[in-house]
Amino acid sequence: MKKNLLLVSVALSVFTVTSLTSFAQPKREFLRDNYAAGYNTSYNNATPKSTYSKNTDKALEEFATEQCSPVQFKFAQLLDREVETLSNTYLFNFIDEWWAVRYRYGGTTMRGVDCSSYTGQLLYTVYGTSMPRTAREQYKATSRVRKDELQEGDLVFFNTIGGVSHVGVYLSDGYFTHSSCSHGVTISNLNEAYYSRKFISGGRVVEQQKYEIVTEPEIIQPDL
């Protein structure tokens, strides 16, 4: 009797293991197939491939943000822009190197620089474009651009003491960088009352300029 019970017990054990194996196999195949099809297979919650792609894009965006430099974060805050949109790192590294360098009449170095020397050196270093030395000459060497059509790298000209007497380089959303008497190299906005009142027009380089950057002084209104 005991022998028969033992045989029955063994048979039931074999049947149970076989049944469980047969049940588990299709589940593994289902999960593997869904994974290959682009699904999230954790536990039993299958996520559609479209959601998977969105999650992937978000992860890539976060990764791109993490790769941004401190300079990009700094100027993203100043310009009120998403940090990933500041893709021209040459431009913002240049501005950062010159940041707060004092204004000096006729200056061309980091010991002091005037507005047209700063714009000339920026255009040459960042864009490979040579410009004449003074704001008036830079105005003549560019084509006119309306305020609402300005693009990154365009020049912006101002009438501060009569005629073209100040110049900066446009960035975006009304912001431009320039060498100011009161703040040195900085960023200002065309919508500020002073600059809005003094603005003449934008200037765009149509073709590669072949002018030498010389050291002729630039005249500028002292209260900029």
User: Is residue 183 annotated as part of the catalytic site, yes or no?
Assistant: no
Query: Torsion angle, CA of 209/214/220/224, rounded to 10 degrees?
Result: 80
Which residue type, as a one-letter code, is found at position 131?
Answer: M
68, 166, 181, 183: the active-site residue: 166
- CA angle, corner 83, sides to 78 and 84, nearest 5? 150
Cβ atoms 203, 145 nearer than 8 A: yes
Pairwise CA distance, residues 169 & 175, whole Å: 9
Q: Treating both helix axes as pointing N-terminal to C-terminal, what angle do 70-79 and 89-98 enclose, rounded to 10 degrees?
A: 80
Pairwise CA distance, residues 206 & 61, whole Å: 35
68, 115, 181, 183: the active-site residue: 115
68, 178, 181, 183: the active-site residue: 178
Return the closest-CA partner of residue 200 out of 185, 187, 190, 186. 190
Pairwise CA distance, residues 224 & 219, whole Å: 12
Q: Which residues form the catalytic set?
A: 115, 166, 178
